[in-house]
Amino acid sequence: MTLSLRWQVLILVLGVTIVSLAIAGLFMHQALSNTLRHHIGLQALGVAQAVAEMPLVKAWVGQPGGEVYIQPLAESIRLRTGFSILVVIDTNSIRYAHPVPERIGQRFVGGDEGRALQGEEYISQAMGTLGLQQRAFAPIRDDAGIIIGAVVVGDLMPQIDAPLGRMRTAMYTPLALGLAVGSLGAVLLSAHIKKTLFGMEPNEIAAALQSRETILQSVREGIVAVDKDGHITLLNDVARRYLEVGDDAIGKPVDTVVKTTRLPSPASSS
């Protein structure tokens, strides 16, 4: 079944609108997600830097029994700041603080701590014992500037991305409005095109033109059609032979082609 021109235009415009809005929505969602993660990452890095500068942490990281002093402080800060992860490690990646106390004394998991133990501050994503995490690293230096450990602060990725669910409503509302406007525009455009074509389908227009051409070329008299300004719009083959002109006569003033025409010139008829 062949769709009418109106439905073809409607489907085409709606399709373009939906695809465009979908692409825009994906880009907006990705940009929002990246911005949110970056903002939370910077907050985590600030906390990690602050903990790394605390005298108690500097004094006890890497020392036997240091976790007894570091863990209560780290856990208190973690709870106050709202982060789900706050870990303190020494240069051997051994934990001195962890949200799960049973994991203190074990090796840090993730493999992304190496740069911090070389003096870098950064934000990364890795799989830890609690799940996929975004975490910020800050090195711990003693008073002589020697690196003696690192502080890791972060959140689980599902927790970071949770606010996106609430933001999606605000983001999708204008997209839905855009879809509604696009749908209305598609309906109006298809109706306008249909009206412009006098309700005819393309195949009907082609058939009408073919019939007109057949009739024009079958008569024995020369036929010349002009517009309201006196310019030629149509010539049949008989008229071309009589006047000895070609297709280039189309658009010319009729009195320059048909010297004996009785048609009034545009100037004299105005």
| CA 9 – CA 82 distance, rounded (Å) | 54
Domain end call among 138, 162, 186: 162
Asked if residue 268 has pLDDT above 50, the reply is: no
| Band (261; pLDDT cuts 50, 70, 90) | low
Q: What is the pLDDT of residue 137?
A: 97
Q: Are residues 158 and 208 in the same domain?
A: no
Average pLDDT, the chain: 84
Range of weakest confidence among 12-26, 45-59, 84-98, 225-239: 225-239
- 136 within some domain: yes
What phi and psi, each to the nearest 5 degrees, are found at residue 149? Answer: 165, -165
pLDDT for the residue 216:
67
Instruction: Output the pLDDT for position 186.
Output: 79
| Residue 177 included in any domain | no
For 236, the domain range is: 202-269
Q: What pLDDT, in 10s, does the model give residues 125-159?
A: 998 888 888 999 999 999 999 999 999 999 988 88
Res 55 pLDDT > 90 = yes
Q: What is the mean pLDDT of residues 208-229?
A: 74
Residue finishing a domain among 145, 162, 179: 162
CA 127 to chain centre: 28
Assess if residue 230 is contained within a domain: yes
- In total, how many domains does the chain have? 2
Distance CA 237, CA 219 (A): 10
Q: How confident is the model at residue 256 (pLDDT cuts 50, 70, 90)?
A: confident
